[in-house]
Structure 1
Amino acid sequence: MSRLVVVSNRVAPIKAGKAAAGGLAVGVYDALRQSGGIWFGWNGDISADPPINSEQVGNITYVTLGLTKRDYDQYYRGFSNATLWPIFHYRIDLARYDRDEYEGYRRVNQMLAQKLKPLLKPDDIIWIHDYHLIPFAEECRRLGIRNRIGFFLHIPFPPPEILTVIPPHNELLKTLCYYDLIGFQTETDRLAFQDYMTREVRGVIEADGSLTAYGQNFRSGVYPIGVVPNEIQQLGETYKGRRHPMRRTSDTARKTIISVDRLDYSKGLVERFKAYEAFLDRFPEHRRNVEFFQIAPTSRSDVRTYQSIRRQLESEAGHINGRLSDLDWTPLHYLNKSHERRILMGLFRSASIGFVTPLRDGMNLVAKEYVAAQNPEDPGVLVLSRFAGAARELTSALIVNPYDCIGMAEALDRALRMPLAERRDRYEHMMRAIRAADLSAWRDNFLRDLRAFVSQPRE
């Protein structure tokens, strides 16, 4: 079997027997563990002369390197997270473009490709992940690397009207054409990409479904990332605090609502807090009988827009609690820190509602994790944004518009009143979807299609 080489922006070695934190890490780790290979990328360090480090764990070689301060500022903080991230999440108002940062983004991708080349074997399969590394395949081709290369985008892909806000959009999207296979979370994302290729650059959809643009022939597909439901169910069941992990003894009659997100403006956190306040105002019978737990670990704390969203949330949480709290009841618990995965699965299992309402999200695995963690005999209810990729699969959730605070408030009331039989029916329908498109299916389907695709000769 050919060796698998994975390239992602961040790499943290996973020890055997330890659970990885996120869906990307779990999926990549399992794929590498089966085939053996290399996991290559940035280790999070910033230094003037970053060395390359190599660590062997089982049949996986973790190869990592640091970035200079200039590279970090231009490639990571700059074009990746100040330009691509907001625009790909439909937030033109929060995006900025700086030509030097774009040049830094291209420079780091070139540098990473150069560092990877000596590690490759002729039959290696290369799998690139996410928006930080869009130009990576073109840099590899310039270096003479002819291996099969696939790319998976974990975030949404915007329509051409939004994407073309990026001044070098033609140059940037041309680099995607050097991949053999480009994977997206949803059909909406894939169609937006295809629309750009056919409208903006007059690309051609071939008879076999592949695309030809900029003289390159390649394929795109939909591969919704999943979870490992059996593992999640086990973590939720075995968590020692599973009975009432979020409550004091005197609070056992209270139902809980839980949300877990990175602290990011795309997650709709401010709108969610306002919806919760509207819920308590419109349905006062739920006061003192429900508590909302929002877990939001700090994300990209050195980026100004993330500092702003944190201040907004702290203000909104203080406003809600100051106006509505009693001596023995705090309606909103805002926790600005991370928690272990097993604890989160225990919290999901005990919560009556999973409140997942991003303004725009590629998939949102929290939605799937919440459902998978539930007690099948007495499951909770998922309230889910229509703008999360997961809404395409979890159609039995209560689907809401995150821009409609009253609509979300009404969904919370409906969820709390929902009879057991309906909760079970919705849970079972969602679990069938989760099992059909689990993490193994995501990984195996993508790699199968990457290995199978035979493109036309490249220029």
Structure 2
Amino acid sequence: MSERVIVVSNRVPTEEVPSGGLVVALHDCLSARGGLWLGAHPEPSEDADGGLVELPGGDGYEKAAFRLTPEEYEDYYLGYANSVLWPLCHRRTDLIALDRRYAEAYERVNRRVARHLAEMLTPDDLIWIHDYHFLPLARYLRELGVTNRIGFFLHIPFPALGDVTALPEREALHDWVVAFDVFGVQTRADVARGLEMFRAHQAGELMLDGRVKFRGDTVDIRSFPIGIDVEAFAGAAQAGGGRRLAGLGEYEDLVIGVDRLDYSKGIPNRVTAFGQYLDRLGPDSRRATLLQIAPPSRSSVTAYQEITRQLEYLAGSLNGDHAELDWTPIRYIHRGVPRDTLARLYRAARVGMVTPLADGMNLVAKEYVAAQDPEDPGVLILSATAGAAESMTDALIVNAYDTLEMAEALERALSMPLAERQDRHRRLLTTVRETHIAGWSQNFLSCLRQAEPAMPRVAMAG
């Protein structure tokens, strides 16, 4: 029987031609091997128990979706996934919204997805589950008698031990993780946090081969740093014309930030730092413009509404203080921009500011580097709290909470000599190439294939 890869993620790509690095990588993976991509249907339905919905297939693989009721969308997706687990993993336990309905909906949806999966599996299938929406899924599959190899990849940071205590289901979290054969994370620091969680529990044991043992089950927690399609992105950037697109003057430099509008991205601190940089400019200094692109995200969640208002106030206030008739120092775009357009803007930007307060990896940092002209590259400013900072050490590394330090880094970046810019970019590009997106998927699946087959497990309460 031939191997089939089953991918489970929150969203299933609906475009005929997939776009975006991760989506393209998984599409290519399934196209080469055959398989199924399962995710949530984009339209809630009152008939969530009616079975899977077949979607137009990919190139050589199938697509299917499970339904959510409107209440489950509110409680499972916006509630537990994005108002409990998201702030937990991004070190904002003060924003966790505790509601028992959320946890109940999260369990109900994951159990339903487990039933759908168990009914269609064959013995040789590899199951690859993605992200925090499905942390309990392997446990529920094991309870149904599934012994297939099951891997998981967490795209966001693994929560710190001190923050896990804020989760009412903190005891269940250990059981969720250990039900997987391979639990993938972005960085070595994430691996350390995962091991620490088990080390701190009396039932946890770190084995000599690096795996974790917990109540008789074992899991391999490993880092698989995600990357981008370097050649494709660089090719899009070479179309050029970014300065014209941004309407820059002859003596005006572009500083760019691109983030989904989220409190974890540190955008207000970045805008404040840019304002402090403007305060330090002399009357004859070369102008710089910050282009902040921040498409909306989960706008119905209160925390996101608050950061939207904060950012709009900051941008308006700083422009009021510093703008001239022919110059607006901060340009804020609250919508998405096409990927090819972003690549051209990155290439035109003298500085890329990637300064999240917490981030699993942050592919904008890698896209910015890939887009640069090697003969005249820009400078990447990267916060130490981005996962990318673990390997991209030739960026200007900053403290995302220290706005003055970021303002000083801006000054340094905008005045950096060409030779230093070229040297830093050359080393950064080497790092970006080493984590190419295609190698990421190949490495993970290779590791999963080598995992020992699971033993049937007995259902547990909770």
TM-score by length of 2: 0.95
- Rounded Cα–Cα distance in structure 2 between residues aligned with 1:396 and 1:37: 39
Aligned counterpart, 1:46: 44
Aligned counterpart, 2:247: 247
Partner SS for 1:322: helix
Deviation at 1:346, TM superposition (A): 0.8
Q: Is the 8 A contact 1:89 1:158 kept in 2?
A: yes
Does residue 168 of the first structure (1) align with residue 166 of the second (2)? no
Deviation at 1:134, TM superposition (A): 0.2
Q: Is the 8 A contact 1:80 1:131 kept in 2?
A: yes
Match of 1:403 among 398, 401, 414: 401
- Rounded Cα–Cα distance in structure 1 between residues aligned with 2:258 and 2:165: 32
- Rounded Cα–Cα distance in structure 2 between residues aligned with 1:286 and 1:260: 29
Aligned counterpart, 2:60: 59
Aligned counterpart, 1:326: 324
- Rounded Cα–Cα distance in structure 2 between residues aligned with 1:165 and 1:390: 27
Query: Structure 1: which 5+ runs fail to align?
Result: none
Partner SS for 1:284: coil
Aligned counterpart, 1:159: 160
- Rounded Cα–Cα distance in structure 1 between residues aligned with 2:162 and 2:284: 43
Deviations 1:222-256 (A, max 9, x none): 100011111111010125x34532115xx132110
- Rounded Cα–Cα distance in structure 2 between residues aligned with 1:286 and 1:430: 33
Aligned pairs (5 A) from 1:10-409: 10-15=11-16, 18-21=17-20, 23-50=21-48, 52-54=52-54, 55-238=56-239, 241-242=241-242, 244-248=244-248, 251-284=249-282, 289-409=287-407
Given residue 204 of structure 2, which amino acid in structure 1 is its aligned partner?
G
- Rounded Cα–Cα distance in structure 2 between residues aligned with 1:243 and 1:327: 19
Deviations 1:102-156 (A, max 9, x none): 1110111001111222332221100000011000001111122211100000000
Q: Is the 8 A contact 1:43 1:65 kept in 2?
A: yes
Given residue 113 of structure 2, which amino acid in structure 1 is its aligned partner?
L
Partner SS for 2:358: coil
- Rounded Cα–Cα distance in structure 1 between residues aligned with 2:274 and 2:188: 31
Query: Structure 2: which 5+ runs fail to align?
Result: 458-462
TM-score by length of 1: 0.96
Deviation at 1:284, TM superposition (A): 3.5
Q: Is the 8 A contact 2:148 2:453 kept in 1?
A: no
Partner SS for 2:397: strand
Deviation at 1:300, TM superposition (A): 0.4
Evaluate the alpha carbon distance shift between residue 183 and residue 328 of structure 1 in structure 2; reply closer, same or farther with a 3 A threshold: same
Partner SS for 1:112: helix
Partner SS for 1:26: helix
Aligned counterpart, 1:3: 4
Evaluate the alpha carbon distance shift between residue 418 and residue 103 of structure 1 in structure 2; reply closer, same or farther with a 3 A threshold: same
- Rounded Cα–Cα distance in structure 2 between residues aligned with 1:13 and 1:413: 43
Evaluate the alpha carbon distance shift between residue 118 and residue 457 of structure 1 in structure 2; reply closer, same or farther with a 3 A threshold: closer
Aligned residues: percent identity? 43
- Rounded Cα–Cα distance in structure 2 between residues aligned with 1:63 and 1:47: 15
Partner SS for 1:354: strand
Given residue 199 of structure 1, which amino acid in structure 2 is its aligned partner?
A
Partner SS for 1:433: helix
- Rounded Cα–Cα distance in structure 2 between residues aligned with 1:305 and 1:283: 34
Partner SS for 1:326: coil
Evaluate the alpha carbon distance shift between residue 332 and residue 184 of structure 1 in structure 2; reply closer, same or farther with a 3 A threshold: same
- Rounded Cα–Cα distance in structure 1 between residues aligned with 2:25 and 2:82: 23
Deviation at 1:19, TM superposition (A): 4.8
Given residue 99 of structure 2, which amino acid in structure 1 is its aligned partner?
D
Evaluate the alpha carbon distance shift between residue 317 and residue 171 of structure 1 in structure 2; reply closer, same or farther with a 3 A threshold: same
Q: Is the 8 A contact 2:203 2:215 kept in 1?
A: no
Aligned counterpart, 2:437: 439
Given residue 309 of structure 2, which amino acid in structure 1 is its aligned partner?
R
- Rounded Cα–Cα distance in structure 1 between residues aligned with 2:183 and 2:42: 26
- Rounded Cα–Cα distance in structure 1 between residues aligned with 2:272 and 2:61: 46
Q: Is the 8 A contact 1:261 1:267 kept in 2?
A: yes
Given residue 90 of structure 1, which amino acid in structure 2 is its aligned partner?
R
- Rounded Cα–Cα distance in structure 2 between residues aligned with 1:364 and 1:56: 29
Partner SS for 1:13: coil
Evaluate the alpha carbon distance shift between residue 455 and residue 61 of structure 1 in structure 2; reply closer, same or farther with a 3 A threshold: closer
Partner SS for 1:57: coil
Evaluate the alpha carbon distance shift between residue 223 and residue 19 of structure 1 in structure 2; reply closer, same or farther with a 3 A threshold: same
Deviation at 1:3, TM superposition (A): 0.9
- Rounded Cα–Cα distance in structure 2 between residues aligned with 1:246 and 1:84: 37
Given residue 57 of structure 2, which amino acid in structure 1 is its aligned partner?
Q
